[in-house]
Amino acid sequence: MAPFKLLAKFICIAGQVLLDNVDIKTLQLRWLRDQIGLVNQEPALFATTILENILYGKPDATIAEVEAAATASNAHGFISLLPNGYNTMVCLYIFFHIHVSLV
């Protein structure tokens, strides 16, 4: 919701906000919301395995796809070093260790 509030403030100050040279006031709000994605800076992990957390985004992913996703996010290296690898249960300790390692 915050991005839309921010856009509304720009409209009040600047007069208009353009998206591909189209005033967003002329766009259907539902369509506009469908075009915008939000990626939080803090990871949200569920109390299950690392593998299942990654599979949450694509339940039918292969192990190769899971490892490729972890590699792309610079996580495969330290996940592989864990005693149970991708089958390690996520808990506060793992979350804290991963977060601190990435910072």
Rounded Cα distance, 4 and 17, in Å: 11
Range list of H helices, 1-103? 2-14, 29-35, 50-55, 63-72, 76-81, 92-102
Tell me the per-residue pLDDT of 23-47, one tens digit each, with 9 for 90 and over.
888 888 888 888 877 666 776 778 8
Tokens for 41?
């800076």
**99: confidence class by pLDDT, cuts 50, 70, 90:** very low
Provide the 3-class DSSP secondary structure of residue 19. Answer: strand
Residue type, 58: K
Residue type, 36: I
Give the domain ranges of the chain.
2-35, 50-102
Provide the 3-class DSSP secondary structure of residue 87. Answer: helix
